[in-house]
Every structure is written in C-alpha cells, then in structure tokens.
C-alpha cells in the first residue's frame, strides 16, 4: 500500500496540472488582495454608508483578517472547480491515456489501487487548502495589517481580532472536509465516464445545479437545502458568526463525511467490478 501511495503521489506531483491549480489559486488570492488594496476603502465606505448614523466605526476595518475571510468565499465555486480538475485527472487520465491497463496488469488488488488514489486525492485536497489558506492570509496581513472584523453573514457580525485564528483555522479544516466531499463526487464521475472532460463538466454541472436550487426561496427550498451538498459546503461561514451555531455546523460536517464515504464506497465497488476493455 505504501508503495502504491508513493507512486500515486509521485504521479500527481509530476503532472503540470497539479502545479497549475496551485498557481491559479495563488493568482486568485493575489488578485483579491490587489483589488481590495486599490478599491477596498471605497467599497467599504459604500457598504457602511447606511450604518453611519447608528455606529461609530473606529480602527482598521479593511484589515488582513477581513480580506482572508473574503478570499475564503472563493470556496463557493472557484476552488471547487480547481479541485475537480485534479480529482478527475487522478482517475480518468489513467483511462484516457491507457495507463490503467499498465497498472492493472501488475499483481495489485484493485481495491488497494483505488484506495491509494482516494488517499492521494484527499492528500492533494488538504495540501491545496493549506496553500490556499496561507496565501489568503499571510499577504493580506502583511499588506493590510490586523484588526477586528465586521462581516455581513446572516446579518452584521462583529468579531474580535482575538477570535480570528480559531475561526479561520476551523474554517480551513471545514473547507478540507467540504472539498474532499466534492472531489469524491468528481472521482465517481471520472470512474463512470472514464473521461476527465465529461467528469469535470458533470461535477461542475451538479455544483451549479445545487447552487441554483439553494438560491430558490420558495417554501420547499428549506427542506431541499438540507439535502444539497452545496448548502453544507458553504456552512464554513457559520464560524464567522458572533455566536457560532455549533449544532448546525456538526450536522453539515456529518453530512459531508457521509457524502464522501458514500461516493468513495460507490467508486471502490464500481472500480472492482469494472471491465477495462
């Protein structure tokens, strides 16, 4: 198993696609920082306009912590897309390039091979989110400094500077779970279609569809929402509420873990029975 993991890891980190996704994520963070550096004050002034009569705002509101929070909002769509690209690649590229036959002709168990791939994919996700978190926070703090944060998240939330690190840290952990859930979906799509482009399109389509359903406001939507993985994926934002609704957060974590487990089991079963013709 260790040998398989080493080879899978080696393959991922000798692929240009892996580095491109890291580069895109870093560029994305740089653009957010640059945009807010240039126009942040004006945007903030506009947003705070209605509150001017009620609040006396003092100190550095446009600080690195607020920008890191803002950067985490890329977890809605941008980052999942990058995650899909690599997750789908880990699986379907082997089919597209025919190397799956080279691998399966070796005396290794299929279940071990796919487990090695799942672990590699998860490892990649964790690393990717860590890199993202570092590049979202460190440059922002260096450029904009630190301070209390004020975010519009289910109402206006005022969060003390001291509480930022545990909130941000837990958000990053939550993002790891969410992205792993999402990549398990794209892994199954890749095994089903054996083609990375189709797998990426299908996974992205499901993401868009779920996001759309989530935005519906009609009666039944609240029932549906609990079944939409995008709803649970976005619940990292609960950590940026003055009073964190932990119960809701735990439900989302359990949902995402079960989602990952379900698609992983489905992928293992499918791969074990699959004819490679």
34-40 contacts at long range (C-beta below 8 A, 24 or more positions apart): 36/62, 36/67, 36/70, 36/144, 37/143, 37/144, 40/67, 40/144
The residue within the footprint of other proteins, chosen from 108, 119, 143, 173 (CB under 8 A), is: 108
The residue within the footprint of other proteins, chosen from 20, 52, 57, 101 (CB under 8 A), is: 101
Stretch that binds other proteins, among 56-64, 169-177, 223-231, 269-277 (CB under 8 A): 269-277
The residue within the footprint of other proteins, chosen from 33, 56, 84, 103 (CB under 8 A), is: 103
Binding to other proteins by residue 105, rule CB under 8 A? yes
Instruction: Tell me how far, at minimum, the Cβ of 195 lies from other proteins, in Å.
Output: 15
Instruction: Tell me how far, at minimum, the Cβ of 99 lies from other proteins, in Å.
Output: 5
Binding to other proteins by residue 269, rule CB under 8 A? no
Binding to other proteins by residue 99, rule CB under 8 A? yes
In this structure, the number of other CB atoms found within 10 A of the CB of residue 58 comes to 8
The residue within the footprint of other proteins, chosen from 42, 58, 106, 220 (CB under 8 A), is: 106
Q: What secondary structure does DSSP assign to 210-276, as a single string? A: HHHHHH--STTHHHHHTT-HHHHHGGGGGGGSSS--HHHHHHHHHHHHHHHHHHHHHHHHHHHH---
* Residue closer to other proteins, measured from CB, 52 or 270: 270
Token readout for 277 is 């013709």
Q: CB of 12 within 8 A of CB of 21?
A: no
Binding to other proteins by residue 4, rule CB under 8 A? yes
Binding to other proteins by residue 49, rule CB under 8 A? no
The residue within the footprint of other proteins, chosen from 26, 104, 127, 262 (CB under 8 A), is: 104
Binding to other proteins by residue 276, rule CB under 8 A? yes
Binding to other proteins by residue 273, rule CB under 8 A? yes
Residues 16-45 that bind other proteins (CB under 8 A): 16
Which residues are 149's β-sheet partners?
Answer: 159
Which residues are 158's β-sheet partners?
Answer: 150
* Residue closer to other proteins, measured from CB, 117 or 167: 117
Stretch that binds other proteins, among 82-90, 102-110, 141-149, 182-190 (CB under 8 A): 102-110
Which burial class, exposed, middle or buried, applies to 260 when counting CB atoms under 10 A from its CB (0-12, 13-18, 19+)? Answer: buried
Binding to other proteins by residue 7, rule CB under 8 A? yes
Binding to other proteins by residue 10, rule CB under 8 A? yes
Give the SS3 label for residue 159: strand
DSSP 49: G
Which burial class, exposed, middle or buried, applies to 38 when counting CB atoms under 10 A from its CB (0-12, 13-18, 19+)? Answer: exposed
E runs forming strands in the chain: 149-152, 156-159
* Residue closer to other proteins, measured from CB, 7 or 214: 7
Binding to other proteins by residue 3, rule CB under 8 A? yes
Applying CB under 8 A, which residues contact other proteins? 3-4, 6-7, 10-11, 14-16, 97-99, 101-108, 273, 275-277
């Amino acid at each position: 198993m260790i040998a398989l993991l080493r080879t899978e890891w080696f393959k991922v980190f000798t692929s240009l696609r892996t580095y491109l996704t890291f580069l895109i994520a870093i560029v994305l963070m740089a653009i957010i920082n640059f945009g807010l550096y240039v126009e942040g004050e004006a945007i903030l002034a506009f947003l705070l306009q209605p509150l001017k009569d009620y609040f006396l705002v003092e100190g550095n509101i446009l600080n690195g912590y607020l920008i890191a929070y803002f950067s985490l909002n890329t977890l809605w769509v941008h980052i999942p897309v990058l995650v899909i690209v690599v997750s789908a690649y880990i699986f379907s590229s082997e089919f597209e390039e025919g190397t799956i036959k080279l691998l399966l002709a070796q005396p290794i168990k299929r279940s071990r091979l796919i487990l090695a791939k799942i672990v590699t994919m998860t490892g990649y996700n964790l690393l990717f989110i860590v890199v993202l978190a570092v590049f979202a926070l460190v440059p922002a703090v260096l450029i904009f400094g630190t301070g209390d944060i004020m975010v519009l998240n289910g109402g206006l939330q005022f969060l003390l500077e001291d509480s930022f690190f545990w909130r941000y840290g837990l958000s990053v952990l939550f993002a790891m779970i969410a992205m792993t859930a999402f990549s398990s979906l794209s892994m199954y799509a890749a095994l089903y279609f054996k083609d990375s482009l189709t797998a990426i399109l299908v996974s992205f389509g499901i993401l868009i569809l779920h996001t759309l359903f989530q935005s519906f406001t009609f009666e039944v939507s609240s029932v549906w929402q609990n079944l939409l993985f995008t709803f649970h994926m976005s619940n990292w934002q609960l950590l940026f509420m003055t009073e964190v609704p932990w119960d809701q957060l735990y439900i989302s974590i359990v949902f995402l873990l079960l989602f990952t487990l379900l698609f992983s089991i489905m992928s293992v079963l499918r791969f074990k029975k699959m004819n490679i013709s």
